[in-house]
Structure 1
Amino acid sequence: MIVVSDSWVQSLISAIAAVVAVVQPAAPLPPEGGQPPAQVRKAGDWVGSWATAVTEADKTGLSATGVANATLRQVTHLSVGGSSVRVRLSNRFGTRPLVVGRTTVVPRKTMPAATPNVEILQVLPITFRGKGAVTIPVGAEVMSDPLALPVAEDSDLVVSTYFPTATGPLTQHPAGYATAFSAYGEQTAGGGPQYRKVPGMARFVVSEVDVRGTARGALVLFGDSITDGAATPMDKNLRYPDQLADLLILRGVGALNAGIAGNRLLANAGNSGEAAIGRFERDVVRRTGVQGVVVLEGINDIRLTRGAISATQVIAAHRQLIARAHAAGLKAYGATLTPYWASPQYTVGGEIARQAVNHWIRTSGEYEGVVDFEAAVRDPKQPLRIMPGYDSGDHLHPNAAGFSAMARSFDLNLVG
Structure 2
Amino acid sequence: MARPAHRLTVIALALAASLAAMLPAAPAEAGAHAPRKPASHLVGTWTAASDRLMTAIGGQTVRMIVHTSVGGADLRIRLSNVFGAAPVTFKSVHVGIQAYGAEILTDTNQPVTFGGHKSVTVPRGRAAWSDPLPGKVSGGQNVVVSLYVPANVQGVTGHDRAYATTFLSEPGDYAADETADGFSYTSNQWYFLDRIAVEAAPAVGSVVAFGDSLTDGTGQSNDANRRWTDYLYHRVVRLSAPRRMGVLNAGIAGNRMLYPNVGPSGLHRFYRDALSQPGVRTVVIYEGINDISRGYYTSAKPLIYAYRKMIKLAHARKLRVIGGTLTPFYGFGTWTEEREEIRQQVNRWIRTSRAFDGVADFDKAVRDPEIPEQLAAAYDHGDHLHMSDAGRRQLAYAVDLRQL
Same fold (TM over 0.5): yes
Q: Which runs of 5+ in 1 are unaligned?
A: 1-41, 59-63
Q: 1:84 to 1:379 in 2, by over 3 A?
A: same
1:292 correspondence with 2:282: yes
Maintained 8 Å contact 2:207/2:282: yes
Deviation track 1:19-55 (CA, whole Å, cap 9, x = no partner) reads xxxxxxxxxxxxxxxxxxxxxxx99511000000000
Q: Which runs of 5+ in 2 are unaligned?
A: 1-37
User: Partner of 2:271 in structure 1?
Assistant: 281
Identity within the alignment, %: 39
Q: Secondary structure at the match of 1:322?
A: helix
Q: Secondary structure at the match of 2:104?
A: coil
Q: 1:243 to 1:195 in 2, by over 3 A?
A: farther
Q: Secondary structure at the match of 1:395?
A: coil
Maintained 8 Å contact 1:68/1:165: yes
> 1:57 Cα shift?
1.3
Q: Distance in 2 between matches of 1:278 and 1:74?
A: 27
User: Partner of 2:160 in structure 1?
Assistant: 174
Candidates 163, 177, 180, aligned match of 1:190: 177
Aligned counterparts, 1:43-82, within 5 A: 45-58=41-54, 64=55, 66-82=56-72
Deviation track 1:181-201 (CA, whole Å, cap 9, x = no partner) reads 011311111123224364541
User: Partner of 2:374 in structure 1?
Assistant: 385
> 1:308 Cα shift?
2.5
Candidates 175, 182, 200, aligned match of 1:213: 200
Aligned counterparts, 1:185-264, within 5 A: 185-196=172-183, 198-214=185-201, 216-249=204-237, 250=239, 251-264=243-256
Q: Distance in 1 between matches of 2:141 and 2:88?
A: 29
Name the TM-score, length of structure 2 as normaliser.
Answer: 0.87
Question: More strand per residue: 1 or 2?
Answer: 2
The letter for the 2-side match of 1:268 is P
Maintained 8 Å contact 2:257/2:288: yes
Maintained 8 Å contact 1:120/1:189: no
Maintained 8 Å contact 2:168/2:186: no
User: Partner of 2:305 in structure 1?
Assistant: 316
Deviation track 1:233-267 (CA, whole Å, cap 9, x = no partner) reads 10010010111112122231110000000000000
Q: Distance in 1 between matches of 2:213 and 2:46?
A: 18
> 1:302 Cα shift?
0.6
Maintained 8 Å contact 1:91/1:136: yes
Q: 1:265 to 1:103 in 2, by over 3 A?
A: same
Aligned residues: 361
Q: Distance in 2 between matches of 1:246 and 1:217?
A: 16
Maintained 8 Å contact 2:167/2:187: no
Q: 1:192 to 1:409 in 2, by over 3 A?
A: same
User: Partner of 1:102 in structure 2?
Assistant: 92
User: Partner of 1:401 in structure 2?
Assistant: 390
User: Partner of 1:144 in structure 2?
Assistant: 130
> 1:310 Cα shift?
2.7
Please report the RMSD computed on the Cα atoms of aligned residues, expressed in angstroms: 1.5
User: Partner of 1:23 in structure 2?
Assistant: none
User: Partner of 2:403 in structure 1?
Assistant: 414
The letter for the 2-side match of 1:136 is V
